[in-house]
Chain A
Amino acid sequence: MPQAELLPRDLELPFDLRLPRVGAVDAVALEARAADLAKRSIKQEAKLAALDLAVRMIDLTTLEGADTPGKVAALCAKAMRPDPADATVPSVAAVCVYPNLVGVARAKLGDSPVKVASVATAFPSGQSPIEVKLTDVRLALELGADEIDMVIDRGAFLSGRYAKVVDEIVRVKDACGATHLKVILETGELGTYDNVRRASLLAIAAGADFIKTSTGKVSPAATLPVTLCMLEVIRDVHDDTGRVIGMKPAGGIRTAKQAIQYLCVLNETLGPAWLTPDLFRFGASSLLNDVLMQIRKQKTGSYQSGDYFTLD
């Protein structure tokens, strides 16, 4: 049974009252720091290295009601070979799909290193009983998911029922076993950076391997300041306990320039040890083509057109 590391699990009442006192974040200063990091000017070899890393960190995502086997098969082909015209471009980290499409993805990806991440736990709203959420996780795993992206119960969080939030994550992690679990906080619904910090701590205490910003279905999704806030939590956890937790900003990251800004924030907050797909992912779809265009621009010197990159 996984134990919550940082916060006591069985103290329902005092725990709920104490949490609002945990972890203040000054929004103005946080946003100013993120804006400062976004000004880093990354050029030449450093830029190519960053773009290559960005590709390797992408969880190529499609999460639509209209997703079909055909759509997902095309996505997987793109995930394995993003740029057919350039064999040096690596494959992405994973594809991210709904449970019904996990089997298709698994079959198409075969034994390629690209992982299959499945959303689960009544994604995106999380507004279902725990039994439904756990069944969702179990079936996704049976269908072949390598990674699970779950959502926290924001209704419970925002009404102060933190123990329920923790309990659900603990049970999902238990169902995952050794499978890598990302916990989506849905930062766009949490209202303040203080809440993002608290939710991050709760998720990590309950067993998350990764904390993730968003479902991508709510605006605002990922932002640089929210990412910085979550990375600072990861840094504190590492300082205090030695645990190594990953982070995934998802939604709203569409350009290579943005991706590089996120990497600067990551690099200067957690250092080079975190500059790996094992600890940082981009939840994105249209980002990939913009990164490919920038890679080709770096290599050829000319600005590119979308016509020369496949739409999958």
Chain B
Amino acid sequence: MSGRLPVRKTYKLFIGGAFPRSESGRTFEAQGQNVARASRKDARDAVKAARGAFATWSGATAYNRGQVLYRLAEMMEARSADLAATCSGADEVEAAVDRVVWYAGWTDKLSQVLGASNAVAGPYFSFSVPEPTGVVAIVVPESPALLGLVSRVAPALAGGNAVVAVASESHPLAAIELAEAAATSDLPAGVLNILTGRRAELAPVLAAHMDVNAIDVTGAGEVGAELEALAADNVKRVVHGGDGQSPWEISAFLELKTVWHPIGT
């Protein structure tokens, strides 16, 4: 008996800035660990937390959101080793950190690229501004475990939305490591929520939830069609994203508001 026994981490859910076990008490095994198996009630709680946090996050200045996301990247960089151990390796971690930095730099530039001042034919000042849609549910691609998650979550956050993400089922640990980085990053509690568990069980709950504004089905695979049908109940925005990075990944999670006002004395 030699060598020191390590104190093993317990992998729990990330809801409302805290790390609760599933209210159902269930776990499942993945990557050699017991991982919390979220229930429909956990999903409900996550949406509630996201809705509660949305006003603060969308009400913050774009500059502030950019700084917070940059700090998230700082925290991820600091945890490179842990993240690398739970995903495919250092290359994936570097790409994920750089992607978060990339999106952090968009927050205060979106309105200049996506918005407009409109040359209407009358004495009116008309302008259009993009705004976050609200609570976004994301069914994350099964792989790559970290980069896939970040590629969908970062644009939603950069746009000012609050997110409930369903992690990769086969490789969920990287998502919880990311959650730990988020929890230490100044991201307000509830802005990002991560559920681990059976995707076929969780995704439809979110797709049918009447207080979710958009559902990202990029990683949904075969359940995608079912989710799209459920989304119709409250006319959710259905997002099919890519695996690269672009401002159009952000705009998929945004609304556009046009305002008019007369010009006169």
Direct contact, A vs B (beta carbon within 8 Å): no
Residues of B within 8 A of A (CB): none
